[in-house]
Structure 1
Amino acid sequence: MNPWYRRKVPKASSPRRFVLSAACASALLATTLTVPAAFADAPARAIDGSREGVTAQACASGIATYVHDVSGDEGVLRKFLDWDPLTGNATGALHDTGVSTPLDTYSRFFTGGHGIIYVVTDEGALKTYKDNTATGGSLLTPVRNYGGDWSTYATIVSGGAGRIFALRYTGSLDVFSIANPASGTGAITKVKTVAATNAAVIAMDRANDVWAVGSKVYTLRRGVADRLGEVKQWTYNETAGAAPFSADTVVVSRVGTKTFTGWSPGPGTFYTVGATPDYSGVASSYTGSGLTELANDDVGSGIHGDVHADIASCLASPSADAKPVLGSAPPEAPAPKAVTDTSPDPAPQNPAEFTGKFTLGDGSPAAGLPVRVEAIDVTSESTEEKELTTLGTAVTAADGTWKVSLPATLPADVRQAAAANGGAINAVAHVDGQTASRQLMRGTDFVVAAPASAPAMARALVASATEDDAPSKLRPVTDAMGEESPQPNEVQTAYSWASEDERNSLDTLGEQPLPEYQSDTSGIPQDDPYIVKGVDTKSMEIRPMDGGCDRTKSKIIDTQIRYTTVAEGHAAWDSKASVDYDSKLSSNVEIAVKTGSNWTIEGTATLGSAMSVTTGYTNKGPHYAKQWKVPIEYKKIKETWKCNYGKDTYYRYRIQGGKYKVPSGGVVGKYGKDVRNKDGSGAYYKSPHKHRAYVEPESFFQLSKNRSVKFGGAVSAFGVKLGASTQYDRDHRQRITAGKKTSHRHDIWGKNDKVDGKPGVFYSF
């Protein structure tokens, strides 16, 4: 049990303390077992994975590993598959099976082998469950309710050999035996209490995590300051007259200051999580003599919470040709061969106009309001305040829509900015109005267009950007007139939701829409921004502003270079992944606007500037899937505008991506978040049949057409999360290369469509 999680503040107002009385113990333990004279491990594991006196087939691979994830609003028990535990998955991975079930945030769990999961409920009762997912059943199938109150124990673990080690909050250690541990129904009997003064018990009490394998108990204590932490091994003994634990042995001392969690699937291997400075949930594995060899420093990602494995008495490696599958794999269904489309890129339509739709806060149309469209890239390199160039005006129709065509002759500054942006023109559409009570309401929509003479890539990017167009809401302007908002520094923005998510190694957002409102210094805002002085403005009628608002002036007040997700590759089993992002930027990145106290996403900017570099990765795998990021410069821009015949001055801020820019001493591109959880058998069997295909051995398949899947959390800039998408072409590709194995197909499937359609991205199994 991981103490970092186990010692969360319980729902009760104070920690509960409960000592088992004789009557309670009698009720809890239905029968009494004879205490054995000695307690020993199962036969030793041989080098080939077998045990002395036991055939190699008895040793286990494909060990279930469970994570109690309490990072969200509700606790969840997630199941991973430890495919090759004998080697610590030296060339493999912990596979996220996609199987999960609710488990109360304040409940605790541990495993005892044989697929039995023990849960101590928030009320302190002990229950057993069976994991039947391998045969299509439930992850937590109820077996027995032992009742009682186990809340007196701070840590409870089992080594899978019929013993439970339970450390009291008061310091002493109770050891219980389990009758018929394979069933989860046997009686539980206390056989020993070890004093709080015992060195092993002291180590358990001070540890950040404790786990057991057979008679071996392990304690993990994280490093402090510049000192590394350590994992120690303690051997438990029930021989009459012998000390309960052997002298401690240092197993490994390569544990960092953020390492809180450890576990083992069986003898000879253990894992830790959190060895990176930001507690990103990356797991590392250790094997070898004395368990001192680092086998894999990135064996799994996104592992946040208490972790226990379905402990085996000895470990083996799977067959070299076996495919990682949870349970029994169904027969391979017919699927087409994946063939890379080598035909010319389709000619994009001419997106030479700006379009959009404005609504009230409740989603109803905002009709009859004047719209002004202004070019925003004309000030992107200026440090002086400059007035934006107007490209046209319109009035919203009855359904809230509007349209402005590009001028036949572009202004010189717009023409110059478009040339530097690959031909695309980024602009902002403004709508200004007021309620009957004269509350100022402003709508903003960042839009893109390209003239017929623009390069094909620019027109294709603009066309793909408009596919994501969504109505833009008019929002109340609540900042005090004439007052600029204080801007937080990087230390303050480090506490924002966006910054916290950026530190997670797993892609938690995917294609999910970002929150409608974001704070740049804290979590997701919970207040309703439409409530102004106690009045709800979201459904109020909005009429044009008296005297209107003049053209926008803007000034860059800060810049940041942030690595932004632009692509991802996938290669499970016997395959390799490659990602190419060459020659030039080819992405659409969202723009955030601060109206009032919070930030909102209000459209996108098309980035098509020249890069003159090649980035990406080649032939990574097997069991590999990572996003790829490139450095883009983001600007925070202050906007000034006057309304009501120039009497009222207001300020607003926007965050906008710009040029590809490598920081001094920085890299041209780097690996992003882990996306292995989207691959594998669990995801494949849930995918639509029509999206599936296969790649022949020793051949490849690649995507080099159509817009990429949108990355919901592509970057965090100034404490705000922005999404992005990439246009596939001959310079921007996702590729998979199949290996030589022929025992199974190299299956792939498209996220949004069949792989020769518009899949966005493809996954691997």
Structure 2
Amino acid sequence: MPKASSPRRFVLSAVCASALLATTLTVPAAFADGPARAVDGAREGVTAQACASKIATYVHDVSGEEGVLRKFLDWDPLTGNATGALHDTGVSTPLDTYSRFFTGGQGIIYVVTDEGALKTYKDNTATGGALLTPVRNYGGDWSNYATIVSGGANRIFALTYTGALDVFSIASPESGTGAITKVKTVAATNAAVIAMDRANDVWAVGSKIYTLRRGIADRLGEVKQWTYNETAGAAPFSADTVVVSRVDTKTFTGWSPGPGTFYTVGATPDHSGVAESYTGSGLAEIANDDVGSGIYGDVHADIASCLASPSADAKPVFGSVQSEEPAPQAVTDGSPDPVPQNPAEFTGKFTRGDGSPAAGLPVRVEAIDITSESMEEKELTTLGTAVTAADGTWKISLPATLPNDVQEAAAANGGAINAVAHVDGRTDSGQLMRGTDFVMAAPASAPATARALVASAAQDDTPSKLRPVTDAMGQESEQPNEVQTAYSWASENELSSRDTLGEQALPEYQSDTSSLPQGDPYIVKGVDTKAMDIRPMDGGCDKTKSKVIDTQIRYTAVVEGHAAWDSKATVEYDSKLATNVEVAVKTGSNWTIEGSVTLGSSISASTGYTNKGPHFAKQWKVPIEYKKIRETWKCNYGKDTYYRYRIQGGKYKVPDGGAVGKYGKDVRNKDGSGGYYKSPHSHRAWVARGSNFQLGKNRSVKWAGAVSAFGVKLGSSTQYDSDHKQRITAGNKSNARHDIWGKNDKVSGKPGVFYSF
């Protein structure tokens, strides 16, 4: 387990130190690893004396505000998951950030509390019980130990902060209730103990202890194996150690499910939480460089004394097998595409900061795709005006004849017109308030794909708030560079290998240089403007001028595929009009999402992945050019000038020497029996052996964290059609059917995405 914090060493999981149990010294005749035993569910049903083909693996995740213990299931640990995976079971339980844990095998989990007490728990989740079922409170004070591990047998190895190694015996290790007795102290001068003290991580399998020390600069790190011995008169560790593998500078964490396999995390340039496995002769061979994702924190497995591979036809099921529910065979829906509703209208709703309607305010809609590509300032073209109704809603029809520049921009965008709706007003206290909403429309002459995408985007048309225009907006803002934006919440989230946001709403306010901003932007000079009445402003504000001040090409999630047991996933994405991407506006010092734009092209380029799997599920990303645009407008009869900034997606654009598409975030945690058994029965279906099923109409789910551009997170969704698909192809294994289920609806309806089991 990673060492506790101390001035001498870096700690990946940032957990605190552990402590010493006062015990009597009793030296046993010999050290024994102990046989494999029945595990009461921690090894998911392994019988007595059987080698384990699936191993529970636990991660103490302290990346959030509260610590959480998460359970994964190692499917086919013998081969290091050459054809299996480290599955997220979806099971978790709180575990204090400053507590530590290690495993003893056979479903027993040891926890050292923040106060230093040692407690044992049993994992009873496989039989419907708790992940941490209390067994015994040993008490004591283990806070003098920097590292504590067990090899899954009847020994605990505990390294003190002064560098000595205390060894404890465990009576009845399978129960978690037996006495814990110190049997030996190995001096700090021992070579193995020195290696443990210097290591970035330490773990054990039976009597073998492994030390991981990451590489430094251009020198590779290494994993060493040390064999512990209690034979009378013998040295506690052999003088000859074994270097089992080399690791790079980013590797900090390691663990093993049993003999012959170990895993590491952090061996990617961005600490993305992707695990890789080592097996083979001397444990030196990488078996799978993407065993699982989202592994952040201290990791220990329910160690077995021997490992086996599951049956070739075995379908991974976590916990108890539930009875099969009636479900239809999945067939591609042959019904006609839905008819878009009113795609030739811009619509929206404006509210005050507290959500109440902003009524009686003038609205101006301006085309935004006409902004010059040459970074010259250009006045936006007005497409219509309106006044908000009593409920804050407004509606503007497209002009019968579009201005030439708008026609040209729409033609280059697959037929869709992107626009911005502005509304301005003042409170009784004189505070200027402005609302912004990015909207879209498509004339009757536009291609059906454009009209369908516009109609589907209208389903997400949430109200837009009027926000205070502060004094700071009266001057141009110095824009941060990429080094500064790398510290933003959005940029840090982008480094995660797993989609941690899903469809959840993004924060209302984002900073482009730091973690989520604090404070209420509606408090202006000590006055709360959220609920104030807003009336039309005398003189109003003039037409908006815009100028591109910077561009970035960022890979953006546009589709995802899923292929669990015995299946393959394929996704196809064409650069023709298909995707909506959110637009961010900088209000004061914070960025907010204010609607979205449709992204299309007059040319076609296809990309995606084909027949990936089994145990595979990833998003696919394409390169899109994002613009940072400075807006300028004058209010109060031209007396006051204001500047605002927006981040807006543009065209599919491959960077020089860049990839035409990339694998995105890992979404394997959505698949498997856990999600399937929780899904509504009406969403379920199955795919016949050797056949395929695909989504080719309606809209995908919305990926909240589709991209980070200029340090700000934006969401996206894609319209499925003949050029944009999610497909699964089932294999020919005969012992079970291949099940799928829709996220939001039955798979032949509007599921958004389907998952695999």
The TM tier, using the shorter chain, reads: over 0.9
1:481 CA displacement: 5.4
The range that moved more, 559-568 or 194-203, is 194-203
1:527 CA displacement: 1.2
- CA contact 1:163–1:175 (8 Å) conserved in 2: yes
Instruction: Pick closer, same or farther for the CA change 1:479–1:595 going to 2, 3 Å.
Output: farther
2:16 is the counterpart of 1:3: no
2:452 is the counterpart of 1:454: no
Structure 1: how far apart are the matches of 2:183 and 2:470? 67
In the alignment, what sits opposite 1:616? 608
2:678 is the counterpart of 1:678: no
- CA contact 1:33–1:179 (8 Å) conserved in 2: no
In the alignment, what sits opposite 1:191? 183
- CA contact 2:20–2:145 (8 Å) conserved in 1: no
1:264 CA displacement: 0.2
Structure 1: how far apart are the matches of 2:5 and 2:609? 37
1:258 CA displacement: 1.4
Structure 1: how far apart are the matches of 2:393 and 2:662? 41
In the alignment, what sits opposite 1:509? 501
Structure 2: how far apart are the matches of 1:165 and 1:585? 60
* AA at the equivalent of 2:365: V
* AA at the equivalent of 2:2: N
**CA-to-aligned-CA distance 1:41-84 (integer Å, 9 cap, x gap):** 4589xxxxxxxxx9996101110000000111110000000010
Give the SS at the match of 1:372: strand
1:448 CA displacement: 0.3
In the alignment, what sits opposite 2:123? 131
1:297 CA displacement: 0.1
Instruction: Pick closer, same or farther for the CA change 1:661–1:583 going to 2, 3 Å.
Output: closer
Which among 507, 514, 517 is matched to residue 525 of structure 1? 517
* AA at the equivalent of 1:603: G
Structure 2: how far apart are the matches of 1:470 and 1:310? 47
2:246 is the counterpart of 1:279: no
- CA contact 1:76–1:105 (8 Å) conserved in 2: yes
- CA contact 1:6–1:108 (8 Å) conserved in 2: no
- CA contact 1:228–1:253 (8 Å) conserved in 2: no
In the alignment, what sits opposite 1:417? 409
Count matched residues.
744
Structure 2: how far apart are the matches of 1:578 and 1:610? 25
Give the SS at the match of 1:170: coil
2:33 is the counterpart of 1:38: no
Which among 747, 751, 755 is matched to residue 759 of structure 1? 751
Instruction: Pick closer, same or farther for the CA change 1:700–1:506 going to 2, 3 Å.
Output: same
In the alignment, what sits opposite 1:48? none
The range that moved more, 233-242 or 274-283, is 233-242
2:584 is the counterpart of 1:599: no
In the alignment, what sits opposite 2:86? 94
**CA-to-aligned-CA distance 1:223-255 (integer Å, 9 cap, x gap):** 111111110111111111111112353434431
* AA at the equivalent of 2:61: D
1:547 CA displacement: 1.1
- CA contact 1:88–1:295 (8 Å) conserved in 2: yes
2:487 is the counterpart of 1:476: no
1:714 CA displacement: 0.3
Structure 1: how far apart are the matches of 2:673 and 2:212? 33
* AA at the equivalent of 2:198: R
Structure 1: how far apart are the matches of 2:555 and 2:750? 26
Structure 2: how far apart are the matches of 1:266 and 1:5? 28
Structure 2 matches for 1:158-557, cutoff 5 A? 158-379=150-371, 381-480=373-472, 482-557=474-549
**CA-to-aligned-CA distance 1:607-644 (integer Å, 9 cap, x gap):** 12134221001100000001000000000000000111
1:667 CA displacement: 1.1
Which among 620, 634, 646 is matched to residue 628 of structure 1? 620
In the alignment, what sits opposite 1:47? none
Residue segments in structure 2 that go unaligned for 5+ positions in a row: 37-45
2:550 is the counterpart of 1:558: yes
- CA contact 1:637–1:655 (8 Å) conserved in 2: yes
* AA at the equivalent of 1:398: A
- CA contact 1:375–1:391 (8 Å) conserved in 2: yes
Instruction: Pick closer, same or farther for the CA change 1:405–1:4 going to 2, 3 Å.
Output: farther
1:16 CA displacement: 7.5
Structure 1: how far apart are the matches of 2:4 and 2:269? 16
Give the SS at the match of 1:415: helix
**CA-to-aligned-CA distance 1:130-173 (integer Å, 9 cap, x gap):** 00000000000000000011111111100011100011111111
* AA at the equivalent of 2:228: Y
**CA-to-aligned-CA distance 1:263-315 (integer Å, 9 cap, x gap):** 00000000000100100000000001110010000000010010000000000
**CA-to-aligned-CA distance 1:403-454 (integer Å, 9 cap, x gap):** 1111111111111101110010000000111112211111100000011111
Structure 2 matches for 1:711-730, cutoff 5 A? 711-730=703-722
2:576 is the counterpart of 1:584: yes
Structure 2: how far apart are the matches of 1:443 and 1:720? 20
Structure 1: how far apart are the matches of 2:501 and 2:17? 37
Give the SS at the match of 1:610: coil
**CA-to-aligned-CA distance 1:638-681 (integer Å, 9 cap, x gap):** 00001110000010000000000000001111100000000001
Instruction: Pick closer, same or farther for the CA change 1:720–1:4 going to 2, 3 Å.
Output: farther
Give the SS at the match of 1:379: coil
**CA-to-aligned-CA distance 1:568-595 (integer Å, 9 cap, x gap):** 0000000000001135241000000001
2:134 is the counterpart of 1:142: yes
- CA contact 2:10–2:200 (8 Å) conserved in 1: no
Give the SS at the match of 2:30: coil
- CA contact 2:472–2:588 (8 Å) conserved in 1: no
Give the SS at the match of 1:465: helix
- CA contact 2:68–2:92 (8 Å) conserved in 1: yes
- CA contact 2:575–2:600 (8 Å) conserved in 1: no
In the alignment, what sits opposite 2:39? none
TM superposition score normalised by structure 2: 0.96
Give the SS at the match of 1:549: coil
Structure 2: how far apart are the matches of 1:17 and 1:127? 12
Instruction: Pick closer, same or farther for the CA change 1:607–1:645 going to 2, 3 Å.
Output: same
1:526 CA displacement: 1.8
1:393 CA displacement: 0.7
Instruction: Pick closer, same or farther for the CA change 1:82–1:417 going to 2, 3 Å.
Output: same
Structure 1: how far apart are the matches of 2:235 and 2:531? 75
1:197 CA displacement: 1.2
1:327 CA displacement: 2.3
Which among 564, 568, 578 is matched to residue 560 of structure 2? 568
TM superposition score normalised by structure 1: 0.95
Instruction: Pick closer, same or farther for the CA change 1:3–1:335 going to 2, 3 Å.
Output: same
Instruction: Pick closer, same or farther for the CA change 1:321–1:682 going to 2, 3 Å.
Output: same
Structure 2 matches for 1:106-121, cutoff 5 A? 106-121=98-113
- CA contact 2:100–2:113 (8 Å) conserved in 1: yes
